[in-house]
Structure 1
Amino acid sequence: MVMSSPWGVKHQLADAINAHDVNRALEYFSPDAVVVSPSGVAEGREQIAWLYEQLFKGFPDFTLTTWNEVSDTDAPMVAEWVATGTHTGPFLLPDGSELEGTGRRITIRGACASFVENGRITTHREYFDQLEMYTQLGLGLARVEQAPSSYREELAPHTVS
């Protein structure tokens, strides 16, 4: 498949995501592409496919709307977006557990930066506020045990005499 401009590739990827067409989305990535997001790192098309499959399983009506593009550059191509969806299926959480469908709607804001070489995305980085998303899903922060005092002392600023 021969792609158009780098921005054309990015726009076609967004169309494939909104169509929930994982196979078509993968065509826009190089075989060794890397996707980095708050959800983790996916290396290669197989892992990228898994990432999208998990998203679409948890949010079958997921929609991505781009509202701003930094169009005066192609390296990286930066866009701001809003993602919406209803959580009706299982969604993988950072601790490896699955959150069953809550029926809650999410609206999260984010940005992404993509690099395209030879008509394919080689690196794609997503940035969004996970706390914003998890709060909308009905989750909150959990207090974790405080680090042992010896560890806190090692990290404390030291003064030089």
Structure 2
Amino acid sequence: MSDPWDIRRQLSDAINEHDMHRLLGIYSPDAVLVAPAGIAEGREEISWFYEQAFTAFPDYRQTAWLDMPGDDPMVREWVFTGTHLGRMLLPDGREVEPTGRHVTVRAACMTYVVDDLVVTHRDYYDQLELYSQLGFGLAELPHAAGRARY
């Protein structure tokens, strides 16, 4: 058995190289990826998730700045950077045209490895931080204007 942190580092390297074949080989066939934008189950959905990120941000890169001791789960703080040069799919199904803006977003993740494969990977980042850097603002919903809902 390999060191789980070595597998986690291999995952980061494959992501940063946009090497989909290698990246998917690090996940178990029934792995689950959880992110603010949604949940991907299995290699096919996980592939789709990363393809969306790499399309929207062709220079997408993760840089770790803190790995917490322990390996169940492995916890890492990192930042992702990239330039928004491709269409980006929003969680509600709308697509955003490229803005050309560069982003730097703080993030954290938890990764579980079993039998040398990632079985669960959870990414956490503030979508508002990402959207603000892309130039999106908050908009009040039309039905909420002028009245409070509790």
After TM superposition, the score normalised by the length of structure 1 is 0.87
> 1:129 is matched with which residue?
126
Inter-partner Cα distance in structure 2 for 1:39 and 1:28:
21
Identity rate of aligned residues, in percent?
56
Q: CA deviation at 1:22?
A: 1.2
Inter-partner Cα distance in structure 1 for 2:52 and 2:59:
13
Task: Show structure 2 runs of 5+ residues with no match.
Answer: none
Q: CA deviation at 1:89?
A: 0.5
Match of 2:46 among 23, 48, 56: 48
Which runs of at least 4 in structure 1 moved beyond 3 Å after TM superposition? none
Task: Show structure 1 runs of 5+ residues with no match.
Answer: 156-161
Q: Structure 1 counterpart of 2:20, which letter?
A: V
> 1:112 is matched with which residue?
109
> 1:158 is matched with which residue?
none
Residues 72-87 of structure 1: pairs in structure 2 closer than 5 A: 73-87=70-84
> 2:25 is matched with which residue?
27
Q: CA deviation at 1:4?
A: 2.3
Q: Structure 2 counterpart of 1:61, which letter?
A: D
> 2:65 is matched with which residue?
67
Inter-partner Cα distance in structure 2 for 1:44 and 1:95:
21
Q: CA deviation at 1:141?
A: 1.2
Inter-partner Cα distance in structure 1 for 2:24 and 2:137:
33
SS in 1 for 2:144: coil
Residue-pair matches, total: 147
After TM superposition, the score normalised by the length of structure 2 is 0.94
Larger CA Rg, structure 1 vs 2: 1
RMSD of the TM alignment (CA)?
1.4
> 1:142 is matched with which residue?
139
